[in-house]
Amino acid sequence: MAELMSLEDAIERYVSDGDCVALEGFTHLIPFAAGQEIIRQGRRDLTLVRLTPDVLFDQMIGAGCASKLVFSWGGNPGVGSLHRFRDAIENGWPVPLEIDEHSHAGLTNRYVAGASGLPFAVLRGYAGTSLAQHSGTISTVTCPFTGEQLAAVRAVNPDVAVIHAQQADRDNNVGLWGITGVQKEAVLAARHAVVTVEEVVDELTLGVGGIVLPSWVVDAVCVVPKGAAPSYALGYYDRDNAFYEEWDGISREREGFAAYLDENVYRAPVRAVRET
Amino acid sequence: MRSVEMGRSVGELAEEADRAVAYTADEMMSVAASRVLTDGAVCFVGIGLPSTAANLAKRTHAPGLVLIYESGTIGAKPVHLPLSIGDGELAETADAVVSVPEIFNYWLQGGRIDIGFLSAAQIDRFANLNSTVIGSYDEPKVRLPGAGGAPEIAASCRETVIVMRQSRRSFVPEVDFVTSVGHGSGAGDRDRLGLTGRGPSLVITDLGLLAPHPGTLELELTHVHPGVEVEDVRVATGWDLKVAEDLSRTVPPSADELAVLRQLRTAG
């Protein structure tokens, strides 16, 4: 059963150096507060997994938390490049970053296999692309019924999945809605799950596309209002598009990035929430 | 066509419209892209140029166009142009919101999408696309965002349309990395690879339109936009570009198309 605890305690207990950590949220409900707590606690040598390493992973990679990245699209949506991500891949700064690169469909199905207790998943994908040549987790499999050759991707089973949701109820069941991405699959594929929520309510009030993660598949629930900002939480607050545009300048040079991190992460005992 | 009966050719009409409203090459590209989307089609939309074109089509000649974004929003009807494929407005206006595994496995791989709209950093003569790296993979000159949904959009939509600005840097003899397969190395390749969709049917640029030759599937120039000459397009192409025998000139944007496009941008 999930336990209600502080974010500091949850990260301390469930995220260790060297772990494989998935932080999911597909443009919506991105677990920024939790990711920044991982930075603040100085975790190193992590394998970070995420379909869309955007501004949050740019911060974690630039802070030196990761030695490996599993991903399928690394950019600042609607803005451009991720400078810290590129600096790590192109120059090995601040530490070399190994990558395992997929398409969204491929990495998504790695989570599906992981959640399903299967060693791999099957999809129509990758045929004719260069992606398979550069990943050890993409192969092919022949259908035993039709003889057709299909792509196979290895299951991903993170040590811990970290997500943000709108609500938990008094029994620590978690409710999220709107664009829910691969959060359910990430949680069910992982050995442990840490969930930050906007608020605790008597009864979940799910909106469009709502899903419930029962308390017993979650380890820690942490109440962190605005825990997804500068991304958004449908029904609670909007995406801070201006910040995503500002990030391009903040992150462009190592010095500016370090100053940002110092002021907004390391020297912020409780995560500073930017008002929008 | 009524105006032709009145004794004016389409070309003359085009020139007249051309004089009437000034527009940019990017606007011509967005308008040309919007025109390929038919009313009622189901379109898998990437962010950026494709999203602009799809939203323009929906507000002009194709109100019944179904917009699907990879964030799992089916039948989105955004009032503003979204900045990302996961903006809240897409979910709030959608007919249905499904998970990312579902959108890729059931809807895209399941063969329910008519047309996929893609863009890229590089394209080659067979419309293979690169959005991963410029230079070598292990020591890239430029590291790009990567695949996202593109490889499977290119594989599984009934057809794909590509929208990108044309230059020698982007229209290259051979892409540095095949992120998404177009027509591979020519006729027969898609079948051999087991790709279910027909592949790229059109490439829309700021200079004109290119389509695969029916026999070889190599891209050839079929239209030049108003004010653009064949030589301009050749200069902006990194291979010896073939030109279709029945080369035509694109009809310029109508006043209505331009007004809606500009309104979309300012509202977005």
Assembly ipTM? 0.94
Q: What part of A 178-237 touches B (C-beta under 8 Å)?
A: 178-182, 184-185, 208-209, 211, 232, 234
Among residues B7, B52, B112, the alpha carbon closest in space to that of B258 is found at B52
Assess A124–B contact: CB distance below 8 Å, yes or no: yes
Are B126 and B247 members of one domain? Answer: yes
Give the Cα separation of B57 and B33 in Å (integer): 8
Please check whether residue A158 is in contact with residue A21, taking contact to mean a CB–CB distance below 8 angstroms: yes
Please check whether residue B71 is in contact with residue A27, taking contact to mean a CB–CB distance below 8 angstroms: yes
Are B37 and B143 members of one domain? Answer: no
How would you list the strands of the sheet with B73-74, edge to edge?
B96-97, B73-74, B66-69, B42-45, B115-118, B159-163, B200-204, B208-212, B219-224, B242-249
Are B77 and B197 members of one domain? Answer: no
Task: Classify residue B73: in a domain, yes or no.
Answer: yes
Q: Which of B71, B152, B194 minimises the CB distance to A103?
A: B152
Are B231 and B260 members of one domain? Answer: no
Are B159 and B205 members of one domain? Answer: yes
CA distances to A138, A141, A142, A150, B154 from A145, in Å: 21, 12, 9, 12, 26
Q: Which of A77, A104, A134 minimises the CB distance to B104?
A: A104
In B, which residues are within 8 Å of A108 by CB distance? 100-101, 104-105
Statement: A3-102+157-266 belongs to CATH 3.40.50.2300: no
Question: Taking CB atoms and an 8 Å limit, are A129 and B179 in contact across chains?
Answer: yes
Q: Which of A108, A134, A179 minimises the CB distance to B71?
A: A179
Q: Which of B96, B145, B177 minimises the CB distance to A73?
A: B145
pTM of the shown model: 0.93
Assess A71–B contact: CB distance below 8 Å, yes or no: yes
Q: Which of A89, A129, A209 minimises the CB distance to B97?
A: A209
Which candidate in B47, B74, B84 is best for mutational testing of the A interface (most A CBs within 10 A)? B84
Task: Classify residue B105: in a domain, yes or no.
Answer: no
Task: Classify residue B140: in a domain, yes or no.
Answer: yes
Q: What is the pLDDT of residue B12?
A: 60
Lowest-pLDDT range of A27-36, A70-79, B85-94: B85-94
The whole domain housing B204 covers 119-252
Question: Taking CB atoms and an 8 Å limit, are B101 and A109 in contact across chains?
Answer: yes
Q: Given a cut of 80, is residue A129 above it in pLDDT?
A: yes
Smallest CA–CA separation between A181 and chain B, in Å?
Answer: 5
Smallest CA–CA separation between B240 and chain A, in Å?
Answer: 24
Give the Cα separation of B87 and A77 in Å (integer): 10
Are B32 and B149 members of one domain? Answer: no
Are B82 and B179 members of one domain? Answer: no
Going by their DSSP bridges, the two strands B219-224 and B208-212 should be labelled as antiparallel
Q: What is the pLDDT of residue A276?
A: 42
CATH value at residue B141: 3.40.1080.10
| CA of residue B81 relative to chain centroid, distance | 17
Q: How confident is the model at residue A7 (pLDDT cuts 50, 70, 90)?
A: very high
In B, which residues are within 8 Å of A27 by CB distance? 71, 84-87
Smallest CA–CA separation between B107 and chain A, in Å?
Answer: 12
A32 residue type, one letter: F
In A, which residues are within 8 Å of B49 by CB distance? none
**A-B contacts (CB, under 8 Å):** 177
In A, which residues are within 8 Å of B140 by CB distance? 89-90
Q: What is the pLDDT of residue B86?
A: 76
Phi (first) and psi of residue A227, to 5 degrees: -70, -10
Catalytic residue among B27, B70, B218, B257: B70
Question: Taking CB atoms and an 8 Å limit, are A109 and B85 in contact across chains?
Answer: no
Residue range A222-260, pLDDT digits in tens: 999 999 999 999 999 999 999 999 999 999 999 999 999
In B, which residues are within 8 Å of A89 by CB distance? 140, 143
Are B55 and B161 members of one domain? Answer: no
Assess A68–B contact: CB distance below 8 Å, yes or no: no
Task: Classify residue B110: in a domain, yes or no.
Answer: no
Are B165 and B260 members of one domain? Answer: no
Number of folded domains that form chain B: 2
Task: Classify residue B127: in a domain, yes or no.
Answer: yes
Query: Where are the CATH 3.40.1080.10 domain residues in chain A?
Result: 3-102+157-266
Task: Classify residue B103: in a domain, yes or no.
Answer: no
Smallest CA–CA separation between A225 and chain B, in Å?
Answer: 18
In A, which residues are within 8 Å of B87 by CB distance? 27, 239
Are B166 and B205 members of one domain? Answer: yes
Angle between helices B255-267 and B49-59 (to 10 degrees): 120
In B, which residues are within 8 Å of A90 by CB distance? 140, 143
In A, which residues are within 8 Å of B101 by CB distance? 108-109, 111-112, 182, 185
Residue range A212-229, pLDDT digits in tens: 999 999 999 999 999 999
Among residues B61, B148, B161, the alpha carbon closest in space to that of B113 is found at B161
DSSP for chain B, please give it: -HHHHTT--HHHHHHHHHHHS---HHHHHHHHHHHTPPTT-EEEE-SSHHHHHHHHHHHTT-TTPEEEETTTEES---SS--SSTT-HHHHHH-SEE--HHHIIIIIITTT--SEEEE--SEE-TT--EE-SEEE-SSSEEEE----TTHHHHHHHSSEEEEE----TTTB-SS-SS-SB-SSTTSTTHHHHHT--S--EEEEE-SSEEEEE-TTT--EEEEEE-TT--HHHHHHT-SS--EEEEEEEEPPPPPHHHHHHHHHHHHH-
Are B141 and B189 members of one domain? Answer: yes
User: Which residues, including other chains, have CB under 8 Å from residue A101's CB and lie 6 or more apart?
Assistant: A71, A72, A131, A134, A135, B132, B146, B147
pLDDT tens digit at each of 268 positions of chain B? 333 334 455 556 555 555 567 999 999 999 999 999 999 999 998 777 888 999 999 999 999 999 999 999 999 998 888 777 777 888 889 999 999 999 999 999 999 999 999 999 999 999 999 999 999 999 889 999 999 999 999 999 999 999 999 999 999 999 999 999 999 999 999 999 999 999 999 999 999 999 999 999 999 999 999 999 999 999 999 999 999 999 999 999 999 999 999 998 776 4
Q: What is the pLDDT of residue B84?
A: 75
B152 is catalytic: no
Give the Cα separation of B72 and B86 in Å (integer): 8
Average pLDDT of span A13-33? 97
Are B79 and B144 members of one domain? Answer: no
Which candidate in B119, B152, B265 is best for mutational testing of the A interface (most A CBs within 10 A)? B152
Q: Given a cut of 90, is residue A51 above it in pLDDT?
A: yes
Task: Classify residue B114: in a domain, yes or no.
Answer: no
Smallest CA–CA separation between B198 and chain A, in Å?
Answer: 14
Task: Classify residue B102: in a domain, yes or no.
Answer: no
